[in-house]
Amino acid sequence: MSSARPELSRRTLLKTGAVLLYGFHMPLAQAATAGFAPNAFIRIAGDGKITLIMPQVEMGQGVYTSVAMILAEEMDADFAQVTLEHAPPDEAHYANPMLGMQATGNSNSIRAFWKPLRTAGATARALLVMAAAQQWVVDPASCTTAASQVIHAASGRKLGYGALAARAAGLTPPATVPLKDPAKFTLIGKPLKRLDTPGKVNGQAQYGIDAMPPGVKFATLAASPVFGGKVAHVDDGKARTIPGVRQVVVLDDLVAVVGDHQWAAKKGLDALVITWNEGPGAAIDSAFIWDDIRKASAQKGVVAKAAGDADKALGDGDRLDAAYELPFLAHATMEPLNCTVHVTPGACELWIGTQIIARVQSSVAATLGLSPDKVKVNQHLIGGGFGRRLEPDMAIKAARIAQKVDGPVKVVYTREEDIQHDMYRPVYRDLLSASLKDGRIDGWTHRITGPAIMARFAPPAFQHGIDVDAVDSAVDIPYDIANKRIEYVRREAPLVPTGFWRGVGPNNNVFAIESFIDELAHKAGQDPVAFRLAMLEGTPRLKAVVRQAAKLSGWGGALPARTGRGIAAQISFASFIATVCEAEADENGEVKIRRMVSVVDTGIAVNPDTVIAQLQGGLVFGLTAALHGEITIAKGRVQQSNFNDYRMMRINEVPRIEVHLVKSGEAPGGIGETGTTAGPPSLGNALYAATGIRLRRLPIDRDVLAGRKQA
């Protein structure tokens, strides 16, 4: 086998054979031409070029398009002429206002930056108007703006933003600036085409895995298959005979093979004979973890929220108790984990797509014993984050490997390594009790038991024993319940690393709550939609979408045998969403999802097409987990390894998905994760309507649906 790097790749073919579809350029962070820089988000050069700095990272959710729309809207910029740059690691200027750190996650990119970005754009516009008014010696109030120009209608004069850049740069920004009346928006609210799509079609888009600094070598790695295990011995004799293999790097907890290309590194890794010291992790398995978490859930937790007297109400009414369980889940992003690193004496440079660029910088700096300013991080597009790239572990491991390599090295995980060394969505057990009185819920308790991601990731968000993420959508349950108590029991799964997964805390709590609400409706002998509507007087926006979802889905209409409709309602990430699933289960327990109808009030939809796409993708993501998703552990080892045993929803399984947006003047809500949280409970409720079998644990057990075993 030749060790030469292949000259022709799919990306090269796309780049040479594709036609440029759109004039929107997205380079790696490059120095903007000197000119007007009124804030951290906007640069206007003397030649009129407008560069917008993206405080959040694009990982398929359309945020670059939406952020650009918000800035350009308030600037009155010519949207077709702006250029985007990834923000560098700089928490002083680009920290997410809702998270207090430079991070993209929690469906809050638009929520968090809505006002700051509008203010930034409006400030730039005001300064440009002031500059033009000074030059023309007119009242700024007599000037208007449009398409990157300041216009003085009375005299017929116009000046482009580039011509005004130098003068505007010397002006003092006004203390306050008026924001546009939403009725006058020309960009926001329009279904504009995604700005990152052309580059993804023609091969110009650069993901982290595409970074190719001069002289780069390729590496792949193997960490201990057992949680917490260490390297005991490595026999690399055979690996070194593989053409293209250049180096074997042995660290205390992992082994990497470096080669001229990825195939050489992969074949070299396969040829290694590695002996591991497995340690105590080898005693851990799924049965132990579930037994432990079930015992923990029997204990009283820390009260996260309480109102009225829940215990008295539970004793007075018609009571129902239920427990719901969700398993570990991997992220399995389309772009495997990767990081390219070049370590030189006293410095380091990285190329990566990450949701936490500043934390990557500081973590790698600490690993290498450098100050953060000596670590340069080049941000790239991300081929799927889902929370996995909120962790710096891949960058840290790549940097440790790169310390042993002369020149830059691109470290790419195999899919097996990716799935078996993830930061998993935690296991959760939800214990719920409720009492009915006069056909309504009178008493309610909800005990959430599971790991505390926040205790590790953001300690300030873990106070008094409560993980704010773990109880999200539980403490703010939307139904009118006078007597309630929500508790949290922290229970870590020994040695199993856990992290954020798309939907975070709500994907657990919405499943448990909406499944239980459905059970209570049937216990009360009421229609599930009517039961919900009667308890949503305090949340009219949610009540409205529940009504509309029921209407649009044909709720109550006739269906074939073993087919049913189920509804789930939620306020998650400041969006109000109701989803109806129509599904069937055959006699063998096989499930077919026929139709999904979601109605969402997410406030002002900056780009309606993006909102619809995110809900569609989120529903598929959540339904995939409900149908197939589960990570199991035996002898300290993750048993799943690739898409053959960690199934994705296939194209023939995807139902017709209808998304309906409610027009609203409220501030934007989050949307990237709401579909994920909506899919599983609506499906479970539909299957109950179809079969009379209640599924309280995911993924769906087909043996239970077929009656071959008890739930």
Beta partners for residue 151, in sequence order: 144, 158
- Assign residue 15 a region (left: φ > 0; alpha: ψ between -120 and 50; beta: otherwise): alpha
Tokens of 109: 């990119």
CB within 8 Å of 220: residues ≥ 6 apart: 256, 257, 262, 265, 266, 269, 411, 412, 413, 414, 417
Q: Are 523 and 318 in contact (CB under 8 A)?
A: yes
* Alpha-carbon dihedral angle through residues 372, 376, 379, 385, given to the nearest 10 degrees: -40
Closest of 579, 599, 601, 587 to residue 686, by C-alpha: 579
455 within 8 A of 490, measured Cβ to Cβ: yes
CA 136/CA 158 separation, integer angstroms = 10
Q: Is 603 exposed, middle or buried (0-12, 13-18, 19+ CB in 10 A)?
A: buried
**What burial class does residue 640 get, using C-beta atoms within 10 Å of its C-beta: 0-12 exposed, 13-18 middle, 19+ buried?**
buried
Domains in the chain: boundaries: 21-194, 210-279+337-412, 299-328+424-705
The verdict on whether omega for the bond into residue 699 sits within 30 degrees of 0, i.e. cis, is: yes
Q: Which of 482, 678, 662 shows the shortest CA–CA distance to 570?
A: 678
pLDDT attached to residue 34: 53
Distances from the Cα of 386 to the Cα of 184, 261, 563, 630, 698, angstroms: 35, 28, 32, 16, 19
Sorted by sequence, the CB contacts under 8 Å of residue 651 that are 6+ apart come out as none
Res 8: pLDDT: 40
**pLDDT score recorded for residue 2:** 39
Q: Which structure tokens are listed for 153?
A: 């209608």
Please give the CATH architecture assigned to the domain spanning 21-194: 2-Layer Sandwich (3.30)
Residues contacting 145, CB < 8 A, separation 6+: 75, 76, 125, 128, 129, 151
CA proximity to 668, closest of 163, 67, 134, 48? 67
Rounded alpha-carbon distances, angstroms, from residue 95 to 88, 102, 688: 11, 4, 45
Sign of CA dihedral 643, 644, 647, 648: positive
Q: Whole-angstrom Cα distance, residue 711 to residue 709?
A: 7
User: What's the token pair of residue 45?
Assistant: 């050069």
Residue type, 521: A
Domain 210-279+337-412 class, CATH top level: alpha beta
Task: Give Cβ neighbours of residue 351 (< 8 Å, ≥ 6 apart).
Answer: 208, 211, 213, 339, 340, 341, 378, 380, 410
Q: Which residues pair with 342 in a beta bridge?
A: 349
Tokens of 285: 């398995």
With contact defined as beta carbons under 8 Å apart, do 426 and 450 qualify?
yes
- Which residue ranges of the chain lie beneath pLDDT 70? 1-34
Fold of 299-328+424-705: Aldehyde Oxidoreductase; domain 4 (3.30.365)
Angstrom distance (rounded) from CA 705 to CA 688 = 9
Per the document, the length of the chain is 711
Same fold? 210-279+337-412, 299-328+424-705: yes
End-to-end alpha-carbon separation of the chain, Å?
Answer: 54
The model's pTM? 0.94
Distance CA 164, CA 6 (A): 49
pLDDT at 577: 98
Backbone angles phi, psi at 619, to 5 degrees: -60, -45
